[in-house]
Structures are given as C-alpha cells and as structure tokens.
Amino acid sequence: MAEALAQTMTQTGAAPLTLDDVFRLHSKDVLRWAARLGGPEVELQDVLQEVFLTVHQELPGWKPRTGKLTTWLFRITQNTVRHRRRRERFRRWLKGSGDDVAGELPSNALSADEALAQRQSQERFYRVLDGMNEKYRTVLVLFELEAMSGEDIGALLGAKPATVWVWVHRARADFLKRMQVLLEKERGP
C-alpha cells in the first residue's frame, strides 16, 4: 500500500518525494529489515538514522524509473547493517583480549531461564548466519524469519523468483551445515 502510494506520488509528478514522505511510509519496513538482518547486536535507532541520512543525501538522484522505492531502501538498509556488523567485528577484534576472543566461541552452558534460552537460540542463529555469504544470509532471513514469498523477496532484491528459490535452497543447505559444525563445537571433543 505504502509502496503503491509512493509510486503514485512520484509517477503523477504531483510533488517529488520528500524525506518526510519516505520516513512516514517506510520507517517501519526499514526497522524490521534492520532488526532481522542485524540481529540482537544492532542498535536499531542508529541504523534507522544512518539509513535515512543516506536517503536524504541520495533522494534527489533517485528516480521511480530506476526501480522500486522499497528495493532501493532495502539496499541502503542492507549496506548499513553490513557495515555496522563489520565494524562491530573489527572493533571486537581490535579491543579483544583473550577473554573477548573466547567469548566468540560458543558457550556450552544452558540456563534454566526460558528467556535466556530463547536469547541463546537467537544468538546461535545469528552466529551461524554471520559466517554465511551476504546474499544467502539475506535471502534466508527474508524467507525463514520474515516469512516473505519468493516474489516479494525477488522484488526487494531485484531478482527473479526462480533465482530466489535457488538461493533459498543453497542458503538453507549452507545454514544447516554451519549449524551442525557449531553444535559439534558446543558439544566439545
């Protein structure tokens, strides 16, 4: 609905889209994508601000003919989250003591606390995702966590649905393989 409205606004030439319009129509989408792509470590408020700062700078150059607004926004969000994750990893490595590095290894402790167990599952999920190729990681998040259809994923990534399914299959296989490696590590020798 929001996308249709945005397209109509731009195509009718009534008025060019402003930052305010884009924020109003899509800030929730951006937040959801950022939360899913970045996982628990990402500061959503910062990501949202950075994404819309980029939108503000690049909006004059964006034309509806070049693609869907959501595709463009998703790409900005994806890049922002990727840079943040990379920086976070770099910072941890930079500051890392022996204990910090050990912290990167899976912990084999399980808590009785349900919330903590859920948090651990989430952290494990993202630990597996973090080792994956960016494209497969994104596709897997959109399919498994966002429960998006192949068509919607294709529209967001600018790919054909058939291509998306190939990526989904490969991403799932890769995830399961990495997950088993992680579980074996957790179980120990």
Partner 1 sequence: MIAPVKRWAEEATPADEATRIAGEWSRAMGPAQGLSASALAQVRAQLGMVPVTGGPWSWVTSTVPTALLFILLGAGGYHWLARANAEAPSPRVAPWSVEPMPTVLPVLHVGPVERAPCEMAVKPKPKRAVAKAVAPPVAAVAPEPVSESDSLLEESRLLGMAMRLLRRELDAKGSLSTLDGYFARFPTGKLERDARSVQLDALLSLDRKEEALKVFDLLAVDNFKGMPRAPELRVVQGELLLREERYPEASVAFDGAVRSAEGSLDLFERALVGRGIARVRSGDRAGGNADLARYLVRFPGGRFVHQAHAEMK
Return the residues of window 65-124 that contact partner 1 according to CB under 8 A: 83-84, 87, 90-91, 94-95, 99-100, 102-103, 107-111, 116-119, 121-124
Taking each helix axis from N to C end, the angle separating 150-157 and 161-187, rounded to the nearest 10 degrees, works out to 100
Minimum distance from residue 119 beta carbon to partner 1 (Å):
6
8 binds partner 1 (CB under 8 A): no
Residues 6+ apart with CB under 8 A from 135: 167
- Asked if 159 touches partner 1 (CB under 8 A), the answer is no
The reply to whether 16 sits near partner 1 by the rule CB under 8 A is yes
What percentage of the chain's residues is helix, strand, coil (to nearest 5)?
Answer: 80, 0, 20
* Cα R_g (the chain), whole angstroms: 19
From 1-9, 35-43, 70-78, 130-138, give the range in contact with partner 1 by CB under 8 A: 35-43
CA dihedral 69, 75, 76, 79 (to 10 degrees): 180
Question: What gap in Å lies between CA 166 and CA 126, rounded to an integer?
Answer: 22
Which of 5, 101 has the CB closer to partner 1?
101
Encoding tokens for residue 80?
A: 């922002």
Least Å distance, CB 80 to partner 1, is: 8
Q: Which of 11, 56, 184, 185 binds partner 1 (CB under 8 A)?
A: 56
Interacting span for partner 1 (CB under 8 A) from 1-9, 68-76, 131-139, 142-150: 142-150
**Amino acid letter, 162:** A
Tell me the closest approach of the beta carbon of residue 31 to partner 1, in angstroms: 5
Region binding partner 1 by CB under 8 A among candidate stretches 1-9, 69-77, 130-138, 160-168: 160-168
Phi, psi (deg, nearest 5) at residue 85: -65, -40
**The binder of partner 1 chosen from 7, 27, 71, 163 (CB under 8 A):** 27
**Sole binder of partner 1 in the list 2, 7, 35, 75 (CB under 8 A):** 35
Of 42, 16, 47, nearest to 122 (Cα)?
42
Tokens coding 131: 């080792």
